[in-house]
Amino acid sequence: MKKILLNKIVSIAPERVFLNEPMSKHTTFGIGGPASCFIYPEREHLRQILKIANDYSIPIFFMGGGSNLLVSDKGFDGIVVSFAKSLKKLVFRKSNTFSCESGVMLGHLVKEVGKRGIGGMEGLVGVPGTVGGALVMNAGAYGKEISNLLQSATVLTMTGDEKIYQRSDINFSYRYSTFPKNEILLEAEFKGEKVNQKDISSEKLEASERRKLSQPLKFRSAGSIFKNPSEMMAAGYLIDKSNLKGSISGNAEISEKHANFIINRGDAKASDVIKLINKAKSQVKKQFNIELKLEIKLLGFNEKTMNELVGNGIG
């Protein structure tokens, strides 16, 4: 990116902009080269950032806590906007309703909702990331999805206009929503139901224990790599039955504990992860004739790599 454009962005909020920022510092995978420009904006900065990106056709990527993301080793020549340190407002009102800005960490929301005896999110305990990212990908676990309690959502368009979507305007399915990719989710309104506090605590404990037993939480990862092909068929089961647990490329490994997790054993490279992704997809396709589709997002990869991955059934 040209220096004059970087200077324009820095001038918006100098203390919140970082140039040539290693993305490995901002993903749960601990992997990724530098972003030309990385920014933690407050709400008032967003319109200025979008105007610059639009006026000069600069690629822009919006992220939350970096928990569902693999960034290339070369990084990303564009603007990365992160809400991990901004948009943190959470307000509870009467009738079990609450509004939440997109930068609130999902774990914090689950805790605060549970404290007030509002049910519906307890199964999401331990799921990393921000509320905005969780809504866009319709995060869920153990029968609970964040979209279940959604009432409405406020977004910012690339032209700087705010727009409100009602729940009925957005379609949700397994790890998917129809929120437009070129709009920024600012905040959401939720409504839950009052339930017994003991039931919430019990479900949270059960979900937490199941996660500890089944997932490689001692290592850095991006969570589940692939979507489950169906409710009756888990991606991890297919990879396991393809005898790929423990497969290694560099310092990346298909977890022995859960085959749908690729873990970073130290200084793994994105290229190592891609090799394991392709290996899992190829073997599962060969043995079961099932195309695995990625659950994680990819950033900064060249067109050839993206075309190969998309050609293999990602979407």
Q: What residues are labeled active site?
A: 175, 224, 295
Length of the chain: 315
CA distance 122 to 268: 33
Q: Are 207 and 170 in contact (CB under 8 A)?
A: no
Angle at 111 between CA 106 and CA 115, to 5 degrees: 150
> DSSP state, 167?
G
Closest by CA position to 146, among listed 201, 191, 88: 191
CA distance 183 to 185: 7
CA distance 73 to 180: 27
- Phi/psi of residue 261, each to 5°? -115, 130
DSSP per-residue codes, 54-70 = HHTT--EEEESSSTTEE
Buried b (16+ CB within 10 A) or exposed e, 55-87: eeebebbbbbbbbbbbbbbebbebbbbbbbebb
Q: List for the chain the helix, strand, coil content (%; round to 5).
A: 35, 25, 40
> How crowded is residue 157: how many other Cβ atoms within 10 Å of its Cβ?
13
